[in-house]
């Protein structure tokens, strides 16, 4: 069944700029310039928008002293960090450095952070850039358990874990033989043992085709290149297995019963150039049968690639001709889809078309039926494919049966009803699929709703992450901020609550009820094996290796003078003995390019070569006390 | 005249926690623990605050689509960046990387940014940490001209300049023989040629005493160490001169007539330890006679230090016994002062006491009278010294004769009247100096008012930058955000407008009327001498040096395949040929740790060694178009 049969003009406004492109135009090569045309068009529209602010913008404001209702955890794009926002206020509560360096906290400066980030043989950082597209939480019983967040790095194919109690990154793993690690999602249950109803796996999609292994072979023959879908152990952060597929992986979703993971594919053509990637009229959403993959691994039915020891299962079509033993199911969906999202009732995955004006609703029990040999074609798992607008990308849910899809080209958020779409697909011409379309400003990418990716989706807020802000904010030169628009979806109509700015280039996020998050506000000193205490504080020398063990307590460090010799390899370990919450100390060493902080009861260390002589004031950089400026020690390097 | 004579209880509430410390306690060594005691006290008080939000907090909200009234440019502390906020909304409009690295824009990645930041012999960055305490704008005719911002780096004693049209850093200079470059201020006029009524100099205070030169000599004899006050040419960013002083420099202020610069000194004792720095009952504000210093330089009456060629004038007391030829004037002020600020009427500098509960008002014409031999003692330039509260740090002005001083220990902002303080100092016991005290949350550092450091001070907004947020926001683990509290000062009473969060650890800022700022939204391609155009695009090889000249236009780079050989030194230059505002492209090269952006019509380059073979997808990291994901080229490195 193709989308023409699904009915057009089903309640959607299709006039003016939103109707200027027919579906066929969007499907053809003319689509190459769509984004740009829409930009120009929007730029004109924007001027009116800024001059006449929207009446509905009366915000649900958080007054001074009031706390927000929700946390938003967002991936910060190619800034490499993750961020914590309060909603609805939009306050940035924290930046969490992950793949980037951050000289405030000392991420990439301290020995402890360098060990997490990874170093080269000479001790310098292996990577200092990153591209975080997605952040997802760990689950228990179908909702967030407040334990971990996971974020990806697309540039260097790394998965990072953040502890939600301290909101700091504690592990990073690099995926072997993967380039362009884009989508990620946690599992919600074990596929076999339903007692394990919490996250133990993280699934990682590999977007780009590369030679396998990527060691210089097959450079001129992309037909030999491939893509892997990876599974990481959430606890150990080690690779469990990988699955080679046809096409690529873009975003990832997982089922509530743990049996299925899926990834939308915009390049089923396995092409290496733009035109090739747009050649087919349909692309796919590939489903992974987790239980079967892990059974193959257990049975030793895998290969390895290059120097990697990670078991690789073959999920390509040629190796999976019998549905009853297949590990993958390729469900055809709209052209060059972007985004796959799980509905909170656990029944459906929705894939957006991007170059098709449709969303494809896939019923999970039908996918499982295909795996069991009870469904003829993978396409038969599709239960709806409504036309919703131009450039559909991502879909959020309100837990009341409605879906909210971002329309990149239309610069809109479309609210549509899943059951109505299914009825329409079955032939009900009276079904009212589209409920409302709302302009957003401008060109939305991801959207996400409060608790929307859990069984507790509460239908209160929707965030539309818009890629272009144009004239929504005071101009700041050629680089604009992005617009995060907060929309109240609790009533009958969508209501714009706020335009929040975001430093480019955030992607996805999750909105988490505040009661889910339980933070530790003070460290336990004994969590740090290298903690400096009065009994071991001081200077210890072995040859030219010097260990300086220092303590901080406002407004002084434990040693007013620290003396070493030029040429020494110095390890400086600092423990903050202050116990008052919020009483953080900094530690900067001028000319030695060192700065980091220690929170109350925390320990950190740096190692460096004292390669130039002189007197250097080691000083506190984090305002701690009325005598903060006077908190400094002499670090003397003898010639 | 000491501060006892200035009258106590002049309208100020002195009960409860705010009165628990007598002035003598604050002045004595008990002061060492003041910050901490206040913290504990505040933590308790805070719980009530969060549970019972303040009624006056109904904010002057900026609705979606509305633009802010003001820009705030803030120094972001030891994160090393500067930030641009919109006020009153508190939206973060931009982060400007300066001393830190930023893998989103490619600051510290591109050749152009590395040339500004400075590199070592091996081409790697010399420094990647920084500590920006102050940001100040360039002036014309006593107000901002919208041309430049200047920010300091305390860790590595660097001054950076930011172009306000593009809001990007364009120059950084390292100050020789200075450690702990803390305060900075631009001049507002030439001291001699009044036609030059705009910024041509930047003054930089050196806080820490160090051996001169700092090459390993005098490590054990701090009495031989010294501090320099530096003057930088705002246009060329080269050092003009330095002035050696007694004591240290903390913050800096400049007069509107260009004749005087000043720096408060918390360590007139020239001490090297905490107790020594608090020994004297009074410290000082040192004034610099700019005309005289530059006459000495012109006359060749200077020395140089170590390898530096910068002329150093002697501003120490011993060399300046005759006021009529002296280049410096040391005015005694309250103990361990922190902060010196110029009143917008051009008449006064106010120095806060920190360990003295007073603010000292110094009349500039009296300082000039001292330099002319018409005033007996420097202290006679003091025209008021009101007791205003505990832990006074910084003072802002409303242009209506009122001053607003942050009280770190009291966690308050105190509004007081300058003329009343002067009358009181003259003996008027009826003078009502303190107008109002307002609780802020908590432990304020800098405060700053709208246009408050110009002759156009408009008395609309005051920002209180508070060092501890405690429970004002949802908890995010051991590291708290800071609280930027926006206060409406336009009415009779101060009114709290908003609690904004700030990622630690911002310091100072300026609030600038939006009409002052004129940005460029699109670059001119010809501003970049290395711009890539169709006529020179492609690959050029000289031996093993390869220059890849690439263009971007959504949704493609100009070359789908780029082929080099392992071992090549590759320079990749990218020009963005898109002309639509906000249409930025990214450029990431996986496994090669490269990412940067090019704004419309901008050119940037990177140089790296192609040290490992394989196929790498050079891809667009900045969402540009519906086919953004498909915007990628094959970068092939042959073995």
Mutation pick from A53, A164, A439, A476 vs chain B, by most beta carbons of B within 10 Å, is A476
Task: For residue A350, give how far its alpha carbon lies from the nearest alpha carbon of chain B (Å).
Answer: 19
Is A474 in CB contact (< 8 Å) with chain B?
A: yes
Task: Look at residue B22 in the predicted model and tell me its pLDDT.
Answer: 33
Q: Do A629 and B179 touch (CB under 8 A)?
A: no
Closest CA to A324 of A373, A275, A280, A383: A373
Partners of B67 on chain A (C-beta within 8 Å) are: 50, 473-474
Is B521 in CB contact (< 8 Å) with chain A?
A: yes
Sign of CA dihedral A385, A386, A390, A394: negative
Chain B residue at shortest CA distance from A598: B479
Chain B residue at shortest CA distance from A128: B593
Is A29 in CB contact (< 8 Å) with chain B?
A: no
Is B218 in CB contact (< 8 Å) with chain A?
A: yes
Give yes or no for residue B37 having a pLDDT over 60: no
Token readout for B440 is 């802020």
| B260-265 vs B239-245, strand pairing mode | unpaired
Segment holding B597, helix H or strand E? strand B594-598
Query: DSSP strand E in A28-163: where?
Result: 70-75, 82-87, 92-96, 135-140, 143-153, 158-163
ipTM of the complex: 0.92
Terminal C-alpha separation, chain B: 81
Is A635 in CB contact (< 8 Å) with chain B?
A: no
The verdict on residue A593 lying in a domain is yes
Here the CATH number for the domain that contains residue A584 is 2.60.40.420
Task: For residue A477, give how far its alpha carbon lies from the nearest alpha carbon of chain B (Å).
Answer: 4
Beta bridge partners of A349: A342, A362
| B561-565 vs B632-638, strand pairing mode | parallel
Q: Do B129 and A355 touch (CB under 8 A)?
A: no
Beta bridge partners of A551: A575
Task: Look at residue B41 in the predicted model and tell me its pLDDT.
Answer: 33
Q: Do A588 and B109 touch (CB under 8 A)?
A: no
DSSP for B463-482 reads EEEES--TTSS---SSSPPE
Task: Look at residue A57 in the predicted model and tell me its pLDDT.
Answer: 44
Is B109 in CB contact (< 8 Å) with chain A?
A: yes
Task: Look at residue B52 in the predicted model and tell me its pLDDT.
Answer: 34
Give yes or no for residue B526 having a pLDDT over 90: yes
Partners of A127 on chain B (C-beta within 8 Å) are: 593
Is B468 in CB contact (< 8 Å) with chain A?
A: yes
Chain A residue at shortest CA distance from B472: A65
Q: Do A274 and B556 touch (CB under 8 A)?
A: yes
Whole-number Å distance between alpha carbons of B483 and B501 = 5
Is A581 in CB contact (< 8 Å) with chain B?
A: yes
Chain B residue at shortest CA distance from A636: B219
Q: Do A581 and B266 touch (CB under 8 A)?
A: no
Q: Do B560 and A274 touch (CB under 8 A)?
A: yes
Give yes or no for residue B54 having a pLDDT over 60: no
Note whether B208 and B180 are within 8 A (CB): yes
Interface list for A 445-464 with B (CB within 8 A): 445
Task: For residue B575, give how far its alpha carbon lies from the nearest alpha carbon of chain A (Å).
Answer: 14
Note whether B211 and B192 are within 8 A (CB): no
Task: Look at residue A59 in the predicted model and tell me its pLDDT.
Answer: 52
Chain A residue at shortest CA distance from B38: A625
Give yes or no for residue B469 having a pLDDT over 70: yes
Is A155 in CB contact (< 8 Å) with chain B?
A: yes
Partners of B104 on chain A (C-beta within 8 Å) are: 77-80, 503-505
Q: Do B582 and A50 touch (CB under 8 A)?
A: no
Choose among A77, A86, A92: nearest Cβ to B92. A92
Give yes or no for residue B564 having a pLDDT over 50: yes
Is A156 in CB contact (< 8 Å) with chain B?
A: yes
Whole-number Å distance between alpha carbons of B555 and B558 = 10
Q: How many domains does chain A have?
A: 1
| A509-513 vs A495-502, strand pairing mode | unpaired
The verdict on residue B227 lying in a domain is no
pLDDT (tens digit per residue) in B551-560: 999 999 999 9
The verdict on residue B512 lying in a domain is no
* Separation in Å, CA A15 to CA A12, A43, A388, A410, B35: 9, 19, 14, 11, 64
Q: Do B628 and A101 touch (CB under 8 A)?
A: no
Closest CA to B104 of A447, A126, A506: A506
Is A197 in CB contact (< 8 Å) with chain B?
A: no
Is A53 in CB contact (< 8 Å) with chain B?
A: yes
The verdict on residue B539 lying in a domain is yes
Residue A542 belongs to domain spanning: 525-637
Task: For residue B325, give how far its alpha carbon lies from the nearest alpha carbon of chain A (Å).
Answer: 33
The verdict on residue A244 lying in a domain is no
Query: Comparing A10-14, A458-462, B476-480, B623-627, which segment has the lowest mean pLDDT?
Result: A10-14
| A135-140 vs A143-153, strand pairing mode | antiparallel
Is B514 in CB contact (< 8 Å) with chain A?
A: yes
Choose among A63, A86, A154: nearest Cβ to B53. A63
Whole-number Å distance between alpha carbons of A482 and A331 = 34
pLDDT (tens digit per residue) in B220-273: 999 999 999 999 999 999 999 999 999 999 999 999 999 999 999 999 999 999
Output the average pLDDT for chain B. 91
The verdict on residue B345 lying in a domain is no
pTM: 0.92
Give yes or no for residue B8 having a pLDDT over 50: no
Is B120 in CB contact (< 8 Å) with chain A?
A: no
Q: What are phi and psi of A337, to 5 degrees?
A: -70, 150
What's the whole-number mean pLDDT along residues B521-535?
Answer: 97
Q: Binning pLDDT at 50, 70 and 90, where does residue B61 land?
A: confident
Whole-number Å distance between alpha carbons of B290 and B201 = 10
Mutation pick from A35, A478, A583, A587 vs chain B, by most beta carbons of B within 10 Å, is A478
Partners of B631 on chain A (C-beta within 8 Å) are: 274
Partners of A336 on chain B (C-beta within 8 Å) are: 627, 630
Q: Do B167 and A250 touch (CB under 8 A)?
A: no
Task: Look at residue A61 in the predicted model and tell me its pLDDT.
Answer: 74
Choose among B68, B467, B595: nearest Cβ to A131. B595
The verdict on residue A615 lying in a domain is yes
The verdict on residue B304 lying in a domain is no
Whole-number Å distance between alpha carbons of B419 and A179 = 68
Is A299 in CB contact (< 8 Å) with chain B?
A: no
Give 10-residue mean pLDDT values along chain A (639 residues). 34 34 34 35 30 43 92 97 97 98 98 98 97 98 98 98 98 98 98 98 98 98 97 98 97 98 95 92 96 98 98 98 98 95 98 95 98 98 98 98 98 98 98 98 97 98 96 96 97 95 95 98 96 98 98 97 98 97 96 98 98 98 94 97
Beta bridge partners of A538: A549
Is B310 in CB contact (< 8 Å) with chain A?
A: no
Note whether A70 and A459 are within 8 A (CB): no
Q: Binning pLDDT at 50, 70 and 90, where does residue B51 land?
A: very low
Task: Look at residue B315 in the predicted model and tell me its pLDDT.
Answer: 98
Is B418 in CB contact (< 8 Å) with chain A?
A: no
Is A148 in CB contact (< 8 Å) with chain B?
A: no
pLDDT (tens digit per residue) in B102-117: 999 999 999 999 999 9
Whole-number Å distance between alpha carbons of A274 and A250 = 16
């Amino acid at each position: 069944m193709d989308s023409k049969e699904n009915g057009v003009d089903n309640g959607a406004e299709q006039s003016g700029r939103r109707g200027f492109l027919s579906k066929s135009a969007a499907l053809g090569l003319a689509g190459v310039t769509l984004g740009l045309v829409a930009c120009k068009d929007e730029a004109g529209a924007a001027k009116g928008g800024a001059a006449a602010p929207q009446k509905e913008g009366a915000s649900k404001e958080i007054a001074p002293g009031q706390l927000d209702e929700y946390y938003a955890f967002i991936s910060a794009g190619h800034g490499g960090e993750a961020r914590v926002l309060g909603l609805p206020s939009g306050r940035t509560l924290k930046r969490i450095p992950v793949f980037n360096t951050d000289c405030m906290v000392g991420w990439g400066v301290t020995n402890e952070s360098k060990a997490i980030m990874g170093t080269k043989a000479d001790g310098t950082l292996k990577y200092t850039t990153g591209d975080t597209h997605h952040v997802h939480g760990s689950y228990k019983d179908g909702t967030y358990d407040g334990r971990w967040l996971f974020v990806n790095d697309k540039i260097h194919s790394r998965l990072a874990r953040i502890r939600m109690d301290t909101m700091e990154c504690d592990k990073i793993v690099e995926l072997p033989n993967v380039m362009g690690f884009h989508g990620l999602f946690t599992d919600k249950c074990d596929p076999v043992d339903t007692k394990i109803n919490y996250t133990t796996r993280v699934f990682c999609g590999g977007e780009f085709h590369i030679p396998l292994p990527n060691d210089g072979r097959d450079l001129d023959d992309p037909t030999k290149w491939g893509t892997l879908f990876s599974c990481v152990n959430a606890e150990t952060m080690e690779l469990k297995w990988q699955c080679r597929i046809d096409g690529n992986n873009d975003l990832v979703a997982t089922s509530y019963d743990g049996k299925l993971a899926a990834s939308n594919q915009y390049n089923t053509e396995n092409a290496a150039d733009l035109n090739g990637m747009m050649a087919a009229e349909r692309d796919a959403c590939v489903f992974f049968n987790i239980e079967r993959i892990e059974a193959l691994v257990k049975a030793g039915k895998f290969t390895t690639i290059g120097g990697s020891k990670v078991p690789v299962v073959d999920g390509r079509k040629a190796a999976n001709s019998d549905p009853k033993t297949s590990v993958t199911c390729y469900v055809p969906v709209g052209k060059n889809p972007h985004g796959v999202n799980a509905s909170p009732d656990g029944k459906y995955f929705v894939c957006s078309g991007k170059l098709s004006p449709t969303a494809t609703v896939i019923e999970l029990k039908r996918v499982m039926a295909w795996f069991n040999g009870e469904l003829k074609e993978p396409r038969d798992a599709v239960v709806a494919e409504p036309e919703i607008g131009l450039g559909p990308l991502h879909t959020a849910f309100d837990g009341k049966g409605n879906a909210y899809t971002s329309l990149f080209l239309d610069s809109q958020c479309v609210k549509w009803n899943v059951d109505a779409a299914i009825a329409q697909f079955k032939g009900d011409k009276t079904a009212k699929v589209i409920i409302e379309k709302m302009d957003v400003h401008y060109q939305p990418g991801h959207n996400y709703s409060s608790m929307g990716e859990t069984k507790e989706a509460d239908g209160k807020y929707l965030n539309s992450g818009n890629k272009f802000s144009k004239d929504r904010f005071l101009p700041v030169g050629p680089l604009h901020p992005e617009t995060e628009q907060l929309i109240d979806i609790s009533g009958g109509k969508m209501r714009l609550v706020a335009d929040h700015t975001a430093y480019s280039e955030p992607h996805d996020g999750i909105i988490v009820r505040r009661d889910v998050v339980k933070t530790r506000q003070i460290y336990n000193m004994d969590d740090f094996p290298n903690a400096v205490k009065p009994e071991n504080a001081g200077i210890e020398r072995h040859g030219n290796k010097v260990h300086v063990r220092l303590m901080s307590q406002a407004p002084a460090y434990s040693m007013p003078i620290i003396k070493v010799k030029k040429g020494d390899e110095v390890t400086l370990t600092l423990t903050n003995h202050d116990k008052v919450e919020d009483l953080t100390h900094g530690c900067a060493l001028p000319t030695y390019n060192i700065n980091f902080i220690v929170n109350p009861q925390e320990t950190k260390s740096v190692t460096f070569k004292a390669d130039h002589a002189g007197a250097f004031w080691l000083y506190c950089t984090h305002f701690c006390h009325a005598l903060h400026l006077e908190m400094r020690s002499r670090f003397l390097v003898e010639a």
